[in-house]
């Protein structure tokens, strides 16, 4: 295979283009035929040695890829040859990079590409959008209705932050270069300002008289004096750039506001955080609201020049699609699905509620599926038919009843029907999960569960559901539907599931608290 790789650290000129042996996947890995990669600032830090991370030579560069599954190990469930996928955390921490015609990706770091999404759009937003999500929600803890300031909003990470914060229901204010203010407004910012305006602090104070809840600095200026002065009570400042800055922190003003300053780099994100970000990225890609500002395509042999252009600041919002040449013959390029039913995951929802009971008391109820008629909108109880009740591996046969008016226009199973499920997690006081089985008793990527964590008043109960890919039952329902009706069904069924989760939690709260 051809790859862009290093034999030593240094400037862009140390990047070589040539042949390397195909990588060998392990049992929990997926081998991917790579269509394209891209280049990010962090890739230049790794190449130059400015950011030290474990690597071995020859070292393939780049973090992000989009491509097609060639093969999947036995410990990599959920991936099949021919499926379109993407990744954004290769090329550091001992993992070889993505700038090659083939790459090995740990299954836990690989995500399905939604149907009909342009693969090159996905690869160009994968890294900046994940950075944006984690900065906003994992570290900034942005909530609907809050005021968010994005500094450096004209860049790739900053513009993704604007899109995501607006989607989450926040009011977004941006600072950027004067030429980018119009673009920031076009993607949802309510107020936009030129960062070079000497009146900037007064202008921001005028539009934010109650202060700014979350201040995110992608520009690397890290003007903490201004940021802290404009911060709201319990406001949060998140710094994502400016490696060499040495700002002055007005500590007194910060602690009197119960404020925080957090540094964040995506290279420290764990797989659970990255997967959470990927789920939102896929949703926004599929909706068409998350996309690169502009993009150019270059061949893999031009990777050194791509690094040079990025370091010299010549891209200004443009993203480079680095084509590996793997699919130069279009006849060998697998077709992408155009049906929403092939989205991965098809459904992924959760809801939570405070319960005035200990985690042990909560767990005792939610793990007793025979009592599910007391809280489930459709399940009417059932029996354990194999294994020890509520233990991992045990199988439960449930009886269900669905009313005629549930998504009444769709060809659903109605009346009474039966299902079987297998317990896949049972950690008393913490987690209980079960996987739905097909009529042939095969595992399906359809998992329900409860998570419990202690709280000041007792416990917080989270109910969640994830369907990794459409089950046999879903395929039967949509088989005769047009694509618009399939989309309508998925939307209506999502709303139904959201209501089911909420209703289940309310009923469980009553059951648990009244039995104390």
CATH number at residue 297: 3.90.180.10
> 66-97 burial by CB neighbour count: b if 16+ within 10 A, else e?
bbbbbebbeebeebeeebbbbbbbbbbeebbb
When pLDDT is averaged across residues 356-374 and rounded to a whole number, the result is 97
Q: Are residues 488 and 387 in the same domain?
A: yes
Q: Are residues 257 and 279 in the same domain?
A: no
Q: Are residues 85 and 171 in the same domain?
A: no
Contacts for 260 with CB less than 8 Å, ≥ 6 apart: 235, 236, 237, 254
In a domain, 27, yes or no: yes
Q: Which two tokens stand for residue 63?
A: 């973090």
In a domain, 129, yes or no: no
What pLDDT is attached to residue 152?
94
In a domain, 482, yes or no: yes
pLDDT tens by residue, 457-504: 999 999 999 998 888 889 889 988 998 999 999 999 999 999 999 999
77 pLDDT band, cuts 50/70/90, is confident
Residue 222 or residue 383, greater confidence: 383
pLDDT at 387 exceeding the cut of 90: yes
Give pTM, 2 decimals. 0.76
Q: Are residues 11 and 29 in the same domain?
A: yes
When pLDDT is averaged across residues 5-14 and rounded to a whole number, the result is 98
In a domain, 133, yes or no: no
pLDDT at 78 exceeding the cut of 90: no
What pLDDT is attached to residue 330?
67
Q: Are residues 255 and 275 in the same domain?
A: no
In a domain, 242, yes or no: yes
pLDDT at 335 exceeding the cut of 80: no
Domain count, the chain: 3
pLDDT tens by residue, 282-327: 989 988 889 999 999 999 999 999 999 999 999 988 899 999 999 8
When pLDDT is averaged across residues 357-383 and rounded to a whole number, the result is 96
Q: Are residues 252 and 277 in the same domain?
A: no
Phi, psi of 200 (to 5 degrees): -55, -50
Q: Are residues 480 and 508 in the same domain?
A: yes
Q: Are residues 311 and 183 in the same domain?
A: no
Give the mean pLDDT of the chain.
94
Per cent of the chain over pLDDT 70 is: 99
What pLDDT is attached to residue 331?
62
In a domain, 48, yes or no: yes
**Which residues does residue 437 pair with via DSSP β-bridges, in sequence order?**
443
Domain with 31 in it? 2-122+271-283+292-323
Distances, alpha carbon 72 to alpha carbons 123, 154, 256, 426, in Å:
21, 39, 54, 28
Q: Are residues 346 and 442 in the same domain?
A: yes
Count of Cβ atoms closer than 10 Å to residue 254 Cβ: 19
Q: Are residues 367 and 499 in the same domain?
A: yes
In a domain, 399, yes or no: yes
Output 308-313 pairs: Cβ under 8 A, ≥24 positions apart. Answer: 308/12, 310/39, 310/40, 310/41, 310/44, 311/12, 311/44
Q: Which of 93-102, 222-231, 239-248 has the lowest mean pLDDT?
A: 239-248
Distances, alpha carbon 436 to alpha carbons 19, 78, 386, 489, in Å:
46, 15, 15, 21
For 72, the 3-state DSSP assignment is strand
Phi, psi of 4 (to 5 degrees): -105, 120
Q: Which two tokens stand for residue 419?
A: 């299902």
What pLDDT is attached to residue 220?
86
Q: Are residues 205 and 249 in the same domain?
A: yes
Q: Are residues 94 and 169 in the same domain?
A: no
What pLDDT is attached to residue 332?
67
Write the DSSP assignment of 477-496 as a string of letters: HHTT--HHHHHHHHHHHHHH
What pLDDT is attached to residue 20?
98
Query: What CATH number does residue 237 fall under?
Result: 3.40.50.720
In a domain, 23, yes or no: yes
Phi, psi of 380 (to 5 degrees): -110, 30
């Amino acid at each position: 295979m051809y790859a862009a790789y290093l034999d030593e650290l240094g400037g862009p000129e140390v990047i070589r283009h040539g042949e390397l042996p195909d990588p060998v996947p392990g049992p929990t890995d997926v081998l991917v035929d790579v269509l394209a990669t891209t280049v990010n600032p962090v890739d230049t830090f790794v190449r130059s040695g400015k950011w030290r991370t474990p690597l071995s030579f020859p070292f393939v560069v780049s973090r992000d890829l989009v491509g097609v599954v060639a093969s999947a190990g036995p410990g990599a469930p959920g991936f099949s040859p021919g499926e379109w996928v993407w990744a954004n955390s290769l090329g550091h921490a001992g993992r070889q990079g993505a700038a090659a015609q083939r790459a090995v990706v740990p299954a836990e770091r690989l995500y399905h590409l939604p149907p009909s999404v342009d693969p090159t759009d996905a690869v160009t937003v994968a890294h900046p959008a994940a950075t944006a999500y984690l900065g906003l929600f994992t570290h900034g803890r942005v909530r609907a209705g809050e005021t968010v300031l994005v500094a450096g909003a004209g860049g790739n990470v900053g513009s993704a932050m604007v899109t995501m914060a607006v989607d989450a229901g926040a009011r977004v204010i941006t600072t950027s270069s004067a030429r980018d203010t119009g673009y920031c407004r076009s993607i949802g910012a309510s107020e936009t300002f030129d960062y070079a305006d000497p009146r900037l602090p007064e202008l921001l104070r005028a539009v934010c008289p109650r202060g700014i809840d979350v201040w995110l600095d992608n520009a690397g200026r890290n003007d903490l004096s201004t940021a802290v002065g404009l911060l709201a009570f319990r406001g949060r400042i998140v710094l994502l750039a400016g490696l060499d800055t040495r700002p002055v922190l007005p500590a007194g003003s910060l602690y009197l506001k119960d404020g925080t300053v957090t540094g964040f780099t995506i290279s420290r994100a764990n797989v659970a955080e990255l997967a959470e970000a990927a789920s939102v990225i896929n949703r926004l890609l599929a909706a068409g609201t998350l996309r690169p500002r502009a993009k150019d395509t270059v061949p893999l042999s031009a990777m050194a020049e791509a690094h040079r252009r990025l370091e010299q600041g010549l891209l200004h919002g443009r993203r480079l699609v680095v084509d590996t040449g793997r699919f130069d013959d279009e006849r060998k390029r697998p077709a992408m699905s155009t049906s929403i039913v092939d989205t991965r995951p098809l459904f992924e929802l959760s809801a939570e509620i405070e319960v005035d009971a200990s985690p042990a008391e909560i767990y005792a109820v939610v793990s007793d599926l025979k009592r599910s008629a007391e809280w489930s909108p459709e399940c009417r109880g059932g029996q354990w038919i194999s294994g020890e009740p509520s233990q991992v591996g045990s199988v439960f046969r449930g009886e269900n009843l669905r009313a005629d008016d549930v998504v009444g226009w769709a060809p659903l199973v109605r009346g009474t029907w039966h299902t079987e499920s297998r317990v896949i997690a049972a950690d008393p006081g913490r987690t209980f999960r079960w996987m739905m089985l097909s009529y042939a008793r095969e595992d399906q990527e359809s998992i329900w569960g409860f998570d419990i964590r202690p709280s000041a008043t007792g416990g917080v109960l989270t109910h969640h559901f994830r369907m990794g890919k459409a089950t046999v039952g879903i395929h039967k329902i949509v088989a005769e539907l047009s694509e618009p009706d399939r989309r309508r069904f998925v939307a209506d069924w999502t709303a139904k599931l959201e209501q089911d989760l909420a209703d289940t939690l309310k009923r469980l709260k009553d059951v648990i608290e009244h039995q104390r």
